[in-house]
Amino acid sequence: MEDWEFFLRKAIFSDFLRDKHREAQEKMSELIIRKNGGKLYRYRPLDDAEVELIRHGNIYFCRAVRFEGAGDVVMRFRSYLSCFTDDLKSEAMWYKYADQSAGMCLEYNFEDMQKFAEKNDLVLLPVIYDDEEHEELGGTVGNVLSMMTKSTDTAGEFEWRLWKYDKTSSDIGKILSGVTPRKVHVGDMASLDSGTGMELSKICEEKNIGMQIKERSLF
């Protein structure tokens, strides 16, 4: 991660924690426009469950205790996260999160995601990468850091997170509606001739979602 992005991510975090949300939003827009013109990506396997989420404009959130991080156990138990990145061309993420490039990468418009976050009372922030321990902080600062901080050895994932806090829920995960990808990038090892692949193609055509096949890596 380049220095400008590392420090801009930290500045966004600082603004958010000081309730300077408009300034944080402006810096997030600056970051994402500079990175890729305003897009967030989500690497996923190509399976029936994921295709159904696309069909209905849904996003799945996992309980936060299943993700890397520290902090208050109760807070993490009551929190749900969904992870994105601003990097489309990571062979490591295609391999790890998109079924060894047999899956797909969903492309979302950043402004669409901001509206989705506001509608569903979500926090949308870029992850900051920091090897310091934050469990002792407690309170709002400690809780936010526990949700939005990862170790520096994962900085190459350029992660963003949507965070939902729900103190009344005990679900393993949540599905929230209201945002559809603008494009689906299909892995170069994926099969669009299968039933699932054909259904994905049909949904993309019906919903005017772009579809693009990933170029095969030479390495």
Give the C-alpha separation, 25 to 205, whole Å: 33
* Residue 218 pLDDT grade (very low, low, confident, very high; cuts 50, 70, 90): very low
* Averaged pLDDT, 196-219: 88
User: Looking at the chain, how many residues does it have?
Assistant: 219
Residue 70's pLDDT is 59
Tokens of 193: 């001739």
The one-letter amino acid at 60: Y
> What are the boundaries of each domain within the chain?
39-213
Tokens of 57: 């404009």
* Averaged pLDDT, 2-11: 94
Using a cut of 0.75, tell me whether the model's pTM lies above it. yes
| CA of residue 174 relative to chain centroid, distance | 15
pLDDT per position as a tens digit, 82-105: 999 999 999 999 999 999 999 999
DSSP code, position 106:
E
Report angle CA 33, 124, 160 to the nearest 5 degrees: 65
Please report the sign of the dihedral spanned by the C-alpha atoms of residue 48, residue 59, residue 98, residue 77: negative
Give the C-alpha separation, 213 to 171, whole Å: 35
Tokens of 160: 């963003």
